[in-house]
Chain A
């Protein structure tokens, strides 16, 4: 059986800008695939190509074996899409909007009524359906958008940053709904996000995209295991002097600290070492001995952000409470200890 979603060397240029530079991926049926990357990485462009909104400059894509360029209408019947910006008509009521969408998918009569009721209940909007959309909150609009994507029971669901900008309650509600969609309908879900915890919590597999290319792909656990070490985040008061970096490299070359990658961050350094909890005291002592004034120092298991850092040299620093940005700095090669 072919993959539910297949992309082969997708490229898309906008004039001189290469938004997507050769994305290849396969998503199996019933899988939740997290497409993770910072703003401008190429996530939405990839989704627009795979959902027939945009033709690729080169490469090909298919959904359930149907080519997105040659068979767009077949693909549209098989997929449901909730785009990043919930595009809704504010003059209509929620029910009118869903009824129109359902008609355009060929639903009629009792099936149409049943589906509208079912999806509104699923997203918790039953009480607001007869109100104009212009009075909805951002979270309600997102949920209505999600409901409209589910009306025709799509076999593949594309959710483009479904929780960006939402409050924690709405975000949790959307996460619950995404999980139940897979359970209830067995739908394949392609979820783009800039939120690390979202990908971590929801996705069976994650593809990390940066500057138009997939840089890592695998299950969240496998990706984190690839980092192969714990993460010690060290904040220093005077990062510019390089004293902290020198002290850590000295400790590594003397064998006081095990070998592990050292990367610069906006506030200090991130050190990837095995058995982090027992090494943190060594780090504190060594920096103190070198006269380095430090801020908070913490140790953690690797996160997808660390995977992103290891793959790209920059941090996404995305949490559901703020925007993603790549502001980490790579320590010039040769200066960090090898992994």
Chain B
């Protein structure tokens, strides 16, 4: 594209031929996303202290649950392998422990968000880049937990690799949806404290699920609450990769994940627009 025709897709006066030019040139959307994602991943790797707890805590609960309930649960609930039953819980738990909003709100608080906003970067690339950093973290946690599960004897239904990839893809979708909540709060409020409190969403979403026993054995209000929680279907689909491939269950799980993502991404878009208005 020549200087004479360069308009950057905006209304107004095109930059004239012969007008002194800067070195700045239009960039592609994916190039911007890659640049922002690279920065996000670099930041994660530089601060292992921020993501190691997110791995240790679910691992701790996983081990404690197995130790405390493993044999009892296998007998009482008729579960053939309680470690296999609990592994998806640990993986989803870790995926919900990501800190995308925290990284972003720190950028807002220290002025780096403004610095980036002054460049011609595609605006949504700034958020998508952060989200990709979260996906990177979720994949890291999941692979390590799945590997731990494999070491203690958890095996996938059918082909091991396809099963693991299936669980991974479902977890990544769920993790993105969850990260989008804290990113939305970070964008909407610019407050570090408010962003950190989004952790409370974690409790109903992760604990009102068939995490410790199958849904069929639940009763009363708890069963009702569990049945309306989308994470229930994500968890059941995740287990289906381990115990038995179940088409309808997988469809429900991926559908719930996509719906969850659609909802939280919509919140992020609204928050993003609000931040743009606030300047």
Q: Which residues of A contact B (CB under 8 A)?
A: 48, 51-55, 64-67, 70-74, 76-79, 81, 83, 85-92, 96, 100-101, 103-107, 111, 115, 145, 148, 151-155, 186
User: How long is the Cα–Cα vector from A72 to B24 in the complex, in angstroms?
Assistant: 14
Given contacts A74-B12, A91-B47, A92-B42, contact A55 B119 (CB under 8 A): no
In this assembly, does B25 line the interface, its C-beta being within 8 Å of a C-beta of chain A?
yes
Given contacts A53-B117, A89-B43, contact A73 B111 (CB under 8 A): no
Question: Would you call B116 and A104 a contact (CB within 8 A)?
Answer: yes
Q: How far is the CB of A192 from chain B (nearest CB, A)?
A: 15
In this assembly, does B255 line the interface, its C-beta being within 8 Å of a C-beta of chain A?
no
B-chain residues with CB within 8 Å of residue A53 when the two chains form the complex: 114, 117-118, 279
Question: Would you call B11 and A153 a contact (CB within 8 A)?
Answer: no
A-chain residues with CB within 8 Å of residue B277 when the two chains form the complex: 55
Which one of A54, A55, A92, A153 contacts B22 once the chains associate, using CB atoms below 8 Å? Answer: A153
A-B contact pairs, 11 of them (CB 8 A): A55-B277, A70-B12, A91-B46, A92-B42, A96-B39, A104-B35, A104-B119, A106-B24, A107-B23, A153-B23, A186-B20
User: How long is the Cα–Cα vector from A153 to B15 in the complex, in angstroms?
Assistant: 16
Question: Would you call B42 and A155 a contact (CB within 8 A)?
Answer: no
Question: Would you call B121 and A104 a contact (CB within 8 A)?
Answer: yes
User: How long is the Cα–Cα vector from A70 to B8 in the complex, in angstroms?
Assistant: 12
Question: Would you call A154 and B22 a contact (CB within 8 A)?
Answer: yes
Given contacts A89-B107, A92-B42, A106-B24, contact A101 B119 (CB under 8 A): yes
In this assembly, does B10 line the interface, its C-beta being within 8 Å of a C-beta of chain A?
yes
B-chain residues with CB within 8 Å of residue A88 when the two chains form the complex: 110-112, 115
Which one of B27, B42, B121, B279 contacts A96 once the chains associate, using CB atoms below 8 Å? Answer: B42
The 6 A-B pairs at the shortest CB distance, nearest first, are namely: A87-B111, A54-B279, A106-B25, A77-B24, A152-B24, A71-B12
B-chain residues with CB within 8 Å of residue A101 when the two chains form the complex: 115, 119
When C-beta atoms are compared, the residue in chain B nearest to A145 turns out to be: B115
In this assembly, does B224 line the interface, its C-beta being within 8 Å of a C-beta of chain A?
no
In this assembly, does B120 line the interface, its C-beta being within 8 Å of a C-beta of chain A?
yes
Which of B15, B110, B111, B119 has most A Cβ within 10 Å?
B119
B-chain residues with CB within 8 Å of residue A100 when the two chains form the complex: 35, 38-39
User: How long is the Cα–Cα vector from A79 to B116 in the complex, in angstroms?
Assistant: 13
Q: In chain B, residues 20-62, which have Cβ atoms closer than 8 Å to a Cβ of chain A?
A: 20, 22-27, 31-32, 35, 38-39, 42-43, 46-47
When C-beta atoms are compared, the residue in chain B nearest to A1 turns out to be: B19
Q: How far is the CB of A20 from chain B (nearest CB, A)?
A: 12
Q: How far is the CB of A51 from chain B (nearest CB, A)?
A: 6
In this assembly, does B13 line the interface, its C-beta being within 8 Å of a C-beta of chain A?
yes
A-chain residues with CB within 8 Å of residue B25 when the two chains form the complex: 77, 105-107
Question: Would you call A155 and B12 a contact (CB within 8 A)?
Answer: no
When C-beta atoms are compared, the residue in chain B nearest to A81 turns out to be: B118
Which one of B39, B112, B120, B279 contacts A73 once the chains associate, using CB atoms below 8 Å? Answer: B120
Q: How far is the CB of A312 from chain B (nearest CB, A)?
A: 27
In this assembly, does B77 line the interface, its C-beta being within 8 Å of a C-beta of chain A?
no
